[in-house]
A and B are shown apart, each in its own frame.
Chain A
Amino acid sequence: MSLAEHPLRKYTRPHVKKTTTCPGCGNGIVAQAILWAIDELNREEGLSMDDFVFVSGIGCSAWIPSPLFAADTLHTTHGRPIAFATGVKLGLPRQKVLVASGDGDLAAIGGNHLIHAARRNIDLTVVMVNNGIYGMTGGQTAPTTPRGLNTITSPYGTMEPEFNVAAMVAAAGAPYVARWTTYHPRQLKRAIKKGIQKQGFSFIEAISQCPVQYGRVSKLGRATAILEHFRDHSLKLAKAREMSEEELAGKITVGEFCDRQAPELASQWSELRARLGKEQG
């Protein structure tokens, strides 16, 4: 039996024959992880692409849902996908709203939206693809760039420490936060599925490879070399918690940062609307 087409093609737009990414880019792996998670939810809970609204900002990873996914997609302004997604969720509380965008978009330009959406605990699933660099614009230093890396805007090495985004979002109050790399596609898929099912703000950080920009400046080169780096430098969170900051330098901590219950904003709005409607006749 030979398949006529990939089983995930039923979730992609028919006119989009190919992914828009460079060869070896991790965005395709994250896109697949999202679609496999939705495929499982389709079989288990009957969710379809019509139940979703996908929101993305600007950057290479913003091209994951738009134009690839056959669903309602919003390709918004730089750094603002969470602001748009908040409006979509409050206006259409029954829809599942998933934000897929990059580190430059969500953690740098849109950093405050991310912090406050986590604090407000609005029911969004945010998948942040973190490649550690501004890929689309030519390889400039991002807040997520590892310290010491020579980029085109830091030819003598970045002097700033890198942003631990997952830990920050967990500290801001998000009920579900996980981090995996593109070397862990199964765990990534499970985390995204859990995030979609979670009532509340869920944040999944996918450490991803940019062979073109990050590969060049880090001298790692090919996508496979960056994936090998992820494989060799990933560390489970439970183990990392027993280690000192010096020992953790250069490591990528992966796992679930938190999984808890907290009052969710969109459902509180719905309850308030119902209560006031009753009181005022």
Chain B
Amino acid sequence: MAKVTLFPQACKGMEDCGICALVCPQHLFTSSGEMNEAGYVPTRLTEPEECTGCQSCMLSCPDMAIVVVKEKGEEAS
């Protein structure tokens, strides 16, 4: 299991960027459909429980808008 945190205000949008959707092996990213403060339409996770915790989206996000924390059977602090 992995915990994904999105920062929608930092995201520059699925339409303009969309790198998270390209690199996710599970194809979990889609557009949220709602504009953020900067006017971009940020990304959204469709099925968070399907995330394998590979962290490709986190490392490939140019705007530090995604964090993936792997949970190894214990509560992360």
Which A residues have a C-beta under 8 Å from some C-beta of B?
1-3, 5-9, 17-19, 21-29, 31-33, 36, 182-183, 185-186, 189, 222-224, 227-228
10 contacts between A and B (CB under 8 A): A18-B10, A19-B62, A23-B17, A29-B60, A32-B59, A32-B64, A185-B56, A224-B17, A224-B19, A224-B21
Cβ-neighbour of A3 out of B56, B60, B67 (below 8 A): B67
Assembled-state Cα–Cα distance A215/B53 (Å): 30
Q: How many residues of B contact A (CB 8 A)?
A: 29
Assembled-state Cα–Cα distance A5/B6 (Å): 10
Which B residues have a C-beta under 8 Å from some C-beta of A?
3, 5, 7, 9-10, 12-13, 16-19, 21-23, 38, 40, 56, 59-65, 67, 69, 75-77
- Interface residues of B, dominant DSSP: loop
Cβ-neighbour of A228 out of B7, B22, B40, B77 (below 8 A): B22
Query: Across the interface, do B60 and A1 meet the contact criterion of CB distance under 8 Å?
Result: no
Contact A32/B67 with A1-B76, A224-B18, A224-B21 known, Cβ cut-off 8 Å? no
Query: Across the interface, do B69 and A1 meet the contact criterion of CB distance under 8 Å?
Result: yes
Assembled-state Cα–Cα distance A24/B12 (Å): 8
Query: Across the interface, do A3 and B69 meet the contact criterion of CB distance under 8 Å?
Result: yes
Cβ-neighbour of A19 out of B5, B13, B64 (below 8 A): B64
Query: Across the interface, do B16 and A23 meet the contact criterion of CB distance under 8 Å?
Result: yes
Q: Please, which residue of chain A has its CB at the minimum distance from the CB of B59? A: A185
